[in-house]
Amino acid sequence: MDDHPLHTIGELSRRTGTPVRTIRFYSDEGLLPPTGRTPSGHRLYDEEAAERLALVRTLRELGIDLPAVRRIVDRELTLPEVAAAHAQALDAQIAALRVRRAVLATAARQGTGAEEIRALHHLANLSRGERKSLVDEFLTAVFGPEPGLPLAGVARTLTPELLDEPDAAQLRAWLELAALTRDPDFRAHLRDLGEELASGPGTGGVPRRDLAATVLETVAPALAAGTAPDSPRAGEILRLLLARCAPLLGGGEAEALRELPTRLERYADPRRERYLRLLAVVNGWPPPSSPRPALTWAAAALRARRGQEPVSPRSATGA
């Protein structure tokens, strides 16, 4: 009994699940030379050929080109060498596909038109140096070419630094953030906030940058308790809020009652919060907490009280 039977091309096809035309093609290309031939000239293959066929199919399914496959099966190249090279090529393809997917997903979500999708594609393919130039131009437009303290520190906290190999979420966040930096209204909004921050201390040497923090701290109990902005309990919170904020604004409580609502609504601009959330994703930071509920609550409560006489500072406990 023959321990090493030979197989016709049809038998090899049925044995391996490979179409006859594919086996014939590999044979013609020299990747699968027949072990022998029948008297009538038909190709015959042994078990070693079947194993070689399995290897060729696997390499082709992995995307390795025919010349490289031939050199592997002929032992001119080692499989690890070829695998490493193709893994690198696949990494590049995956990165390119990730960029394309991010652009298309962003375009679909935003209802982007032809001009906008071209801009998104451009932003997605910027080099590291080009990204830095875009960010530097944005920060310079907002804070000036050589911002002093405290604006230099603020600029640093607003600087996105996208990795060379970002994940899908970081790439999508970068696209939206980069588009936001080009919004002239958003730039003007940040510029106004920066000018206010840099305008110096308020009455008594208290930095004006403490205003938002003071509001958040003061109204936090009202938010936690679910207090309505126009309720009697809100009035107690507002007395304390006005007493604390008036010195920061350099005036009295009446001036604070007039000025605070508009200022707090500016602080609560949703574009600024969106930028900070996108920035956290891009830079891999924890998601920031939102100040908007506190700021909008305080603005609504102050507007509800507008027109009333400000409460005397003596009645504002903790002032």
Domain parsing of the chain, residue ranges: 7-77, 84-192, 200-315
4-37 tens-digit pLDDT: 689 999 999 998 899 999 999 999 998 899 999 9
pLDDT for position 91: 81
CATH topology classification for 7-77: Multidrug-efflux Transporter Regulator; Chain: A; Domain 2 (1.10.1660)
pLDDT for position 243: 93
Report the distance separating Cα 160 and Cα 277, nearest Å: 11
pLDDT for position 205: 40
What is the average pLDDT value for the chain, to the nearest integer? 85
Neighbours of 8 (CB within 10 A): 15
Extract the tokens encoding 38: 């029948």
pLDDT at 106 over 70: yes
pLDDT at 204 over 50: no
Q: Crossing angle, helix 292-305 and helix 253-267, to 10 degrees?
A: 140
pLDDT at 309 over 60: no
Report the distance separating Cα 115 and Cα 138, nearest Å: 21
pLDDT for position 242: 93
pLDDT for position 144: 92
> Is the distance from CB of 173 to CB of 278 less than 8 angstroms?
yes
Average pLDDT over residues 152-161: 92
* 69-83, 146-160, 226-240: least confidently modelled range: 69-83
pLDDT at 280 over 50: yes
Higher pLDDT, 133 or 1: 133
pLDDT for position 308: 53
227 φ/ψ sector (left φ>0, alpha ψ -120 to 50, else beta): beta
pLDDT band (50, 70, 90) for residue 319: very low
- Type of residue found at 229: P
The helix or strand, by DSSP H or E, that contains position 43, with its residue range, turns out to be strand 43-45
> Is the distance from CB of 123 to CB of 175 less than 8 angstroms?
yes
The helix or strand, by DSSP H or E, that contains position 23, with its residue range, turns out to be helix 20-28
Which residue reads 């982007």 in tokens? 112
